[in-house]
Structure 1
Amino acid sequence: MSTPPTAALAWAAADPYAAALRAGRGPLFLRRADGWLLPLEVERWCARADAVDRDVLDRCEGTVLDVGCGPGRLVAELAARGRAALGVDVSEAAVDHTVRLGGRALRRSVFEPLPGEGRWGTVLLMDGNVGIGGDPRALLDRVAGLLRPGGLLIAETAPVDVDERAQVQVVDLTDAGGTDALFPWARLGTRALLRYAQGWEPAGQWTAGGRCFAALRSRSSRSASSSAEPPKRTAVISSQRARNTSAGSPVPNR
């Protein structure tokens, strides 16, 4: 499967993004072509998983693929729990940071071939990553192909009712004019996400810490619980543990 090349290459080559991750702080923004700025929460992304994040991770099932993992706080937290997890990101700085935290990560776009396709228990789209590629239906279709039958998608949505597509750049305060390439991005509230989720079954919605989340499950299987409520405890069994590919990336066992 081919990747939307503009988006992947632009994120991968965004010097302000790489610099912010290496420093662990912003300010950093997505800048639309009309000059509107969306602040990016670099400090939170570079910190350890907080209580809101941990609640999301409590809801995950089986092996976990974190799409657009950024600096890796979620993958690292899952690894610390003994859970099989892999982060994917197009940014070398993001992947390096994830590995330093103790997580496993692969430098790749979600639209490129990935380990364990069709066998992941949960896919995460956190921190606005429902916007990847600027085409929500295409992203949801891709995620459906990554999950095992009845697998779970947990997505963080915008805290406002919005459904927009735009061409954006990653900029900091020293680059307000935007010299990097524009790439397509989307912002979706929960209602918009559900409108695009044809072939998915809603499995939960919640808000915490000013952040909004939705869980979706493929309708292709009724074998799993229809709810994404957090379990009373998290168990790790041997069949959920990762085996290594030749590249050293975790792939869930069949």
Structure 2
Amino acid sequence: MTQKTILVTGASSGFGKHIAERMARRGDKIIVTARRAERLTELAEAYPGLIKPIPLDVTDAAAVEAALADLPPEWQAIDVLVNNAGLALGLEPANEARLDNWERMIATNCSGLVTVTRLVLPGMVARGRGQIINIGSTAGSIPYAGGNVYGATKAFVHQFTNNLNADLVGSGVHASCVEPGLVGGTEFSSVRFDGNSEKAAGVYQDTQPLTPEDIADTVEWIIDRPPHVTINYLVMMPDCQSFGGQVVKRRVSN
């Protein structure tokens, strides 16, 4: 199998970390970015020569551009971009949500993803090959109370992926959106609930959710598709989850 150069954003924990580890174990070269430098260093030390850590906040466009421009020549030809950096903040109804939480989700989940994609994409097109794998969510197509802006950002990721493929048809470059439902074993809910571990644990109580390894396995499968195959989007849920009925607000008769 030909060694690939893969860029994974948000790789200090969760999906990103598992994806980086999985691909490094098979001998690919992984550029990992995240804000927590010490975690990236630990990851690089576990896979000497295969993981290049770059402390980075994807919402800082100038820093992203500089970091990619400073990559050594042997790391610059990125074959696969995994746009994993993202977060959910809060679960309040829209009229009570914090505006700064909304802005941060948009900046990370949408603007950061777009920035990294735009900077990596020209090289892929010039080489006539490449894959962009965006981590979306079932929240992008299935609304739920409190999901307001988080769900909207993931709807953006889904549609951005589709429109990338509309632009890239015949170029040898493909975009895919992986859209998981309930996934445990990450910091996702802890971040959403501002570190409230009890509240975060309640999300997964008495369930068997998907795991970060399930997501990493799916990403690897997409990466290994033949060059003529495009996976536009892939929705996945655990067996304990399915589509819910629509909410009906009933008035109490007098």
Give the TM-score normalised by structure 1: 0.43
**Normalising by structure 2, what TM-score?**
0.43
